[in-house]
Amino acid sequence: MAKFTATATALLMLPAVLAAGQTPGLFSSYVSLSIELIGFPQWAGTKDNRNEFSNNLIDNLVKAQESPLVVRVGGNSADRAIFDASLTTPTAGSCKNADPGAWQCIGPSFFDSYGALPAGTRYSHGFNLATWNSSGFNTLRETVPLACRALRGQLAYFEVGNEPDLYIGSRRPQDYSVAQYVSEWSNATARFEAYLREACPDLVVAASDSNSNSNSNSNNNNIKYMFPSVSSPRSKLRVPDIISAANAAAGGHDDDASIRRVTQVSVHNYMGGATQPGVTLQATLMNHTAVAASIGRHVAYAASIGGLTPADYVIGEHNSLYGGGAAGLSDVFGAALWGMEFSLCAASTGVIKRLHFHQSVGSPYAAWSPVAPLQTKPPYYGKLAAGTFLAGADGIQVKTLALGGDADDGSDISSSSGSDKDVDSAYGAYINGELRRLAVLNLREHDDGSASATQGSRRRGSKKHTIRVAPRSNWVVKRLTAPGARDRGNITFNGFAYEAASNGKPVRVAGRTTDERVRADGRGGVSVTVADSEAVVMIRT
Ligand SMILES: *[C@@H]1O[C@H](CO)[C@@H](O)[C@H](O)[C@H]1NC(C)=O
Ligand SMILES: *[C@@H]1O[C@H](CO)[C@@H](O)[C@H](O)[C@H]1NC(C)=O
Ligand SMILES: *[C@@H]1O[C@H](CO)[C@@H](O)[C@H](O)[C@H]1NC(C)=O
Ligand SMILES: *[C@@H]1O[C@H](CO)[C@@H](O)[C@H](O)[C@H]1NC(C)=O
Tell me the Cα Rg of the chain: 23
- Burial bucket for residue 103 (CB in 10 Å: 0-12, 13-18, 19+): exposed
Per-residue pLDDT tens over the stretch 63-81: 999 999 999 999 999 999 9
**Ligand 4 geometric centre to CA of 438 (Å):** 30
- Sorted by sequence, the CB contacts under 8 Å of residue 198 that are 6+ apart come out as 145
Cα separations in angstroms, 278 against 91, 273, 281: 37, 10, 10
Alpha-carbon distance 423 to 374, whole Å?
33
**Ligand 2 geometric centre to CA of 235 (Å):** 26
3-state SS class at 355:
strand
According to DSSP, the β-strands at 105-106 and 82-83 are parallel
**Ligand 3 geometric centre to CA of 26 (Å):** 28
**Ligand 2 geometric centre to CA of 187 (Å):** 6
Q: Which atom of ligand 1 is nearest to the CA of 102?
A: 7
Query: Atom 10 (ligand 2): residue with closest C-alpha?
Result: 187
| Contact in structure between 184 and 136 (CB atoms under 8 Å) | no
Considering every ligand atom, which ligand is closest to the CA of 94? 1
- Per-residue H/E/C for 375-444: EECHHHHHHHHHHHHCCCHHHCEEEEECCCCCHHHCCCEEECCCCCCCCEEEEEEEECCEEEEEEEEECC
Q: Which atom of ligand 4 is nearest to the CA of 487?
A: 14
**Ligand 1 geometric centre to CA of 163 (Å):** 18
Query: Please, which pLDDT band fits residue 255 given cuts at 50, 70 and 90?
Result: confident
Say what the pLDDT of residue 491 is.
Answer: 98
Per-residue pLDDT tens over the stretch 391-406: 999 999 999 997 654 4
Whether ligand 3 lies within 6 angstroms of the CB of 285 is answered as: no
Say what the pLDDT of residue 206 is.
Answer: 63
Q: Which atom of ligand 4 is nearest to the CA of 451?
A: 14
Whether ligand 3 lies within 6 angstroms of the CB of 284 is answered as: no
| Contact in structure between 359 and 77 (CB atoms under 8 Å) | no
**Helix 378-389 with 52-65: angle, nearest 10 deg:** 30
Whether ligand 3 lies within 6 angstroms of the CB of 279 is answered as: no
Say what the pLDDT of residue 219 is.
Answer: 57
Whether ligand 2 lies within 6 angstroms of the CB of 194 is answered as: no
Per-residue pLDDT tens over the stretch 280-322: 999 999 999 999 999 999 999 999 998 999 999 999 999 999 9
| Contact in structure between 394 and 413 (CB atoms under 8 Å) | no
User: Does the pLDDT of residue 13 top 90, yes or no?
Assistant: no
Query: Atom 9 (ligand 1): residue with closest C-alpha?
Result: 101
Say what the pLDDT of residue 178 is.
Answer: 98
| Contact in structure between 97 and 76 (CB atoms under 8 Å) | no
- Per-residue H/E/C for 182-208: HHHHHHHHHHHHHHHHHHCHHHHCCHH
- Sorted by sequence, the CB contacts under 8 Å of residue 376 that are 6+ apart come out as 57, 367, 368, 497, 498, 499, 500, 504
Whether ligand 2 lies within 6 angstroms of the CB of 180 is answered as: no
Whether ligand 4 lies within 6 angstroms of the CB of 47 is answered as: no
Q: pTM of the predicted model, to two decimals?
A: 0.93
Say what the pLDDT of residue 18 is.
Answer: 39
Residue type, 433: G
CA of residue 72 relative to chain centroid, distance: 10
Q: Which atom of ligand 4 is nearest to the CA of 450?
A: 5
Q: Which helix (H) or strand (E) holds 339?
A: helix 333-348
What are the φ/ψ torsions at residue 320 (nearest 5 degrees)?
-65, -65
Alpha-carbon distance 378 to 406, whole Å?
33
User: Does the pLDDT of residue 140 top 50, yes or no?
Assistant: yes
